[in-house]
Structure 1
Amino acid sequence: MMQVETCRAQSLGQTERDLWRSFQAADASLASPYFSLGFLDAMAAVRRDTRVLVIREGSEIKGFLPFHKGALGHARPLGGPLSDHHGFIAAPGARFDLEAVLKAAGLKVFDFFGAIGTQAAFRDHAQLVDGSWVIDLSAGYDAWVETRSAVEPKAFRNLRARRRKLEEETASFKFRIQDERPEVLEKAMEWKSRQYRRTSHFDVFSVDWTRKLIDTLVKGGLDNASGLVSSLEVNGELAAAHVGMRSGTVLHYWFPVYDPEFSKLGPGLNLLTEIARTLSGEGLREIHLGPGEYDFKRELASWQFPLASGYVAAPSLLGAARQLAGQIEDAAERLPLGPISTLPGRAFRRIDRLTAFRVA
Structure 2
Amino acid sequence: MDVTVLRPDELTAADLAAWAAMQRADLRLANPFLAPEFAMAVGRRRATARVARLTAGAGTVGFFPFERHALGSGKPIGWGFCDCQGLVHRPGLDWDPLELLRACGLALWEYDHLAEGQTPFETGGTPHTRAASPVMELAGGHHAYLERLRPKVLRAARNQERRLARDVGPLRLDFHTPDPALLDTLCRWKSAQLRSRGQRDPLSQDWFLAILRELLDLPSESCSGTLTVLRAGGTPVAMLYGLRSREVYATWFPAYDVRFAKYSPGILLHLKCAEASAERGIIHVDLGKGTSRYKDALKTADLTVTEGYVGRRTPGAVLGRLRRASSRTAHTAINADPRVHRAVVRAVGAVDRLR
Cα gap change, 1:198/1:303 in structure 2, threshold over 3 Å: closer, same or farther? same
Cα gap change, 1:80/1:330 in structure 2, threshold over 3 Å: closer, same or farther? closer
| Structure 1, gaps ≥5 residues long | 355-360
Q: Distance in 2 between matches of 1:260 and 1:186?
A: 16
TM-score computed with the length of structure 2 as normaliser: 0.88
Q: Distance in 2 between matches of 1:20 and 1:236?
A: 41
The amino acid across from 2:147 in the alignment is E
Contact 1:134/1:302 (CA < 8 Å) preserved in 2?
yes
Residue in structure 1 matched with residue 237 of structure 2 by the alignment: 239
Contact 1:229/1:244 (CA < 8 Å) preserved in 2?
yes
Pairing 1:213-252 to 2, within 5 Å after superposition: 213-222=211-220, 224-252=222-250
Residue in structure 2 matched with residue 288 of structure 1 by the alignment: 286
Cα gap change, 1:199/1:77 in structure 2, threshold over 3 Å: closer, same or farther? same
Pairing 1:73-88 to 2, within 5 Å after superposition: 73-88=72-87
Over the aligned positions, Cα root-mean-square deviation in angstroms equals: 2.8
Residue in structure 1 matched with residue 151 of structure 2 by the alignment: 153
Pairing 1:297-336 to 2, within 5 Å after superposition: 297-328=295-326
Residue in structure 2 matched with residue 357 of structure 1 by the alignment: none
> CA offsets per residue over residues 295-331 of structure 1, 9 Å max, x none?
3212321211211111123333331112223445678
Aligned with 1:82: secondary structure? coil
Aligned with 1:185: secondary structure? helix
- Give 1:223 deviation, angstroms: 5.3
Q: Distance in 1 between matches of 2:72 and 2:175?
A: 42
- Give 1:219 deviation, angstroms: 4.0
Residue in structure 2 matched with residue 142 of structure 1 by the alignment: 143
> CA offsets per residue over residues 83-124 of structure 1, 9 Å max, x none?
111111001111122122101222122111001132112222
Q: Distance in 2 between matches of 1:206 and 1:334?
A: 26
User: What is the total number of aligned residue pairs between the two structures?
Assistant: 342
Residue in structure 2 matched with residue 15 of structure 1 by the alignment: 14
Aligned with 2:15: secondary structure? helix
Cα gap change, 1:225/1:331 in structure 2, threshold over 3 Å: closer, same or farther? closer
The amino acid across from 2:14 in the alignment is T
Establish whether residue 128 from structure 1 lines up as the match of residue 129 from structure 2.
yes
Aligned with 1:227: secondary structure? strand
Residue in structure 1 matched with residue 41 of structure 2 by the alignment: 42
Residue in structure 1 matched with residue 192 of structure 2 by the alignment: 194
Contact 2:20/2:222 (CA < 8 Å) preserved in 1?
no
- Give 1:332 deviation, angstroms: 9.0
| Structure 2, gaps ≥5 residues long | none
Establish whether residue 266 from structure 1 lines up as the match of residue 268 from structure 2.
no
The amino acid across from 1:11 in the alignment is E
Contact 1:118/1:306 (CA < 8 Å) preserved in 2?
no
Establish whether residue 110 from structure 1 lines up as the match of residue 82 from structure 2.
no
- Give 1:58 deviation, angstroms: 4.3
The amino acid across from 2:148 in the alignment is T
Contact 2:53/2:62 (CA < 8 Å) preserved in 1?
yes
The amino acid across from 1:12 in the alignment is L
Pairing 1:196-215 to 2, within 5 Å after superposition: 196-215=194-213
Pairing 1:337-352 to 2, within 5 Å after superposition: 339=336
